Amino acid sequence: MREWRVVWSRAVLLSIMQPMTLAELERKVEELRAAWRAALAEVTDAEALEAARIRFLGRKGHLTRLLSSLKEFPPQERPHAGRILNQLKREISQAIEEKGREIEQREWERRLAAERYDFTLPGKWRPLGHLHPLTQVRLEIEDIFMRMGFDVASGPEVEDDYHNFEALNIPEDHPARDEWDSFYIDDTHLLRTHTSPVQIRVMKSRKPPVRIICPGRCYRRDTPDATHSPVFHQVELLWVERGLTMAHLKWIIEEFVRRFFGPGYEMRFSADFFPFTEPSAQVHIRREGGPWLEIMGAGMVDPAVLTEVGYDPEEVTGFAFGLGIERMAMLRWGIEDIRLFYQNDIRFLSQF
Ligand code: DAH
């Protein structure tokens, strides 16, 4: 049984392995060429192309199998057989390459058509931040006075009683202290209620002439409303020198207001009282037709203050003012509620 099967299969093999004639080979090559062309015509993408390549040129592909039959030909026929097989192989390889390029090009065009860019569309808008309106106003005020020859000084926000009150001629139990409702830190320290204590610190550390401004935060125990905030900003100004008078003070203020606001604003001086100035004044500003708004207290430095810091009031005189930064901003932009400055609402801030 087993032997029979071996004998049978050998016979079959022998019949199959009958050497091919050249004519047969040429016919097979033609068939294969036709089959290749038909297969190629069906190919539309890179994957199908690769599959076709493997089917014809792969290790077990149709053409590869034919090539391995070369050795069956007698030596004198082999060159011819080799030539026609190689000719087909080149044809197929070239066609694969061309088709590959074609597919790539088509894929590229498809993507170009799909991913269409409209270069006329507006770009993405990323808003740029800018300085807070109060900072803008402070810098502008500094700039105006620096051009007039003033230095910018600073002092601590946590002050002691002495600098905030006593040295400014406001002794304990003086009724004027009530004007500055204070946040006390301990028995003798408080959040400064105004920038005036910097006057004392500067005069104690310099000889006259002194010409400074000092911008900074101030604190008062006020209930917030449209015109009051427990934290706000002032710019203090102090000029001490031989021969200064109220006329110089008035000129400086007028010149400053003119430079800051330009035309269209009115200014009004009136008498006031501060323990550290004599005489004292307050300055109101209004936009033409608008309501008057007090922007500063001012006056000639009281001789008692000059004496306190070691200056001789017979030799030098001085003047000073304390200006509200918020008020300046409110006047400039017509803002009616001081609380808007501290709410960090972008809709408000982005207007400046
Ligand atoms: N310090 C005062 C206040 O906050 C304002 C002031 C008035 C400042 C007169 C001065 C001045 O320098 O001379 O109410």
pLDDT band at 12 (very low <50, low <70, confident <90, very high): low
| Mutate which of 181, 321, 323 for ligand 1 pocket (most atoms within 8 A of beta carbon) | 321
What domain range includes position 286? 133-349
Report the 10 Å Cβ neighbour count for 115.
7
Q: What is the CATH number of the domain that holds 295?
A: 3.30.930.10
> Does pTM top 0.85 for this prediction?
no
Q: Does position 2 have pLDDT exceeding 80, yes or no?
A: no
Mutate to test the pocket of ligand 1, among 179, 180, 194 (most ligand atoms within 8 A of CB): 194
Q: Is the peptide bond before 279 cis (omega within 30 degrees of 0)?
A: yes
DSSP 18-84: PPPPHHHHHHHHHHHHHHHHHHHHH--SHHHHHHHHHHHHSTT-HHHHHHHGGGGS-TTTHHHHHHH
d(CA 235, CA 195): 7
Mapping DSSP to helix (H, G, I), strand (E, B) and coil, where does residue 4 land? helix
**Do 239 and 312 have their domain in common?**
yes
What ligand 1 atom has the least distance to the C-alpha of 218? 4
Report the nearest-CA residue for atom 12 of ligand 1.
321
Q: Determine contact, residues 208/316, Cβ cutoff 8 Å.
A: yes
CA distance 102 to 48: 13
Residue after which a domain boundary falls, among 83, 115, 147: 115
What does the DSSP 8-state code read for residue 289?
T
Residue 86 region by backbone torsions, left for phi larger than 0, else alpha for psi between -120 and 50, else beta: alpha
Q: Which residues pair with 300 in a beta bridge?
A: 319
- Residue 7 predicted with pLDDT over 80: no
Asked whether residue 38 falls in the same domain as residue 164, the answer is no
152-210: pLDDT as tens digits: 999 999 999 999 999 999 998 887 777 678 999 998 999 999 999 999 999 999 999 99
Find the DSSP H helices in the chain. Answer: 2-16, 22-42, 46-57, 62-68, 78-114, 133-147, 161-164, 197-205, 246-261, 303-308, 325-333, 346-349
User: Which of 94-98, 126-130, 144-148, 335-339 is least confident?
Assistant: 126-130
**Distance (Å, whole) CA 37 – CA 95:** 9
Kindly state whether residue 127 falls inside one of the protein's structural domains. no
Q: Looking at the domain assignment, is residue 94 inside a domain?
A: yes
Q: Which of 86, 115, 144 is the last residue of a domain?
A: 115
- Is the C-beta atom of 297 inside 6 A of ligand 1? yes
Q: Please write the tens of the pLDDT for every residue from 207-217.
A: 999 999 999 99
Ligand 1 near 215 CB (within 6 A): no
The whole-number pLDDT of residue 206 equals 96
313-325 b/e with 16+ CB inside 10 Å = b? eeebbbbbbbbbb
Number of other CB atoms surrounding residue 203 within 10 Å: 24
Whether residue 124 is contained in a domain is answered as: no
Of the candidate ranges 174-178, 265-269, 275-279, the one whose mean pLDDT is the lowest: 174-178
Could you tell me if 146 and 106 lie in one domain?
Answer: no
Domain match, 137 and 103 both? no
Identify the domain boundary among 115, 149, 167: 115
Residues 80 and 205 both lie in one domain: no
- The per-residue b/e assignment along 240-259, b for 16 or more CB within 10 angstroms, e otherwise, is beeebeeebbbebbeebbee
Residue 137 scores a pLDDT above 90: yes
Residues 45 and 154 in one domain: no
3: pLDDT confidence band, cut at 50, 70 and 90?
low
Q: How many domains does the chain have?
A: 2
Q: Are residues 256 and 343 in the same domain?
A: yes
Average pLDDT score over the chain: 91
Residue 16 — pLDDT band, cuts 50, 70, 90? low
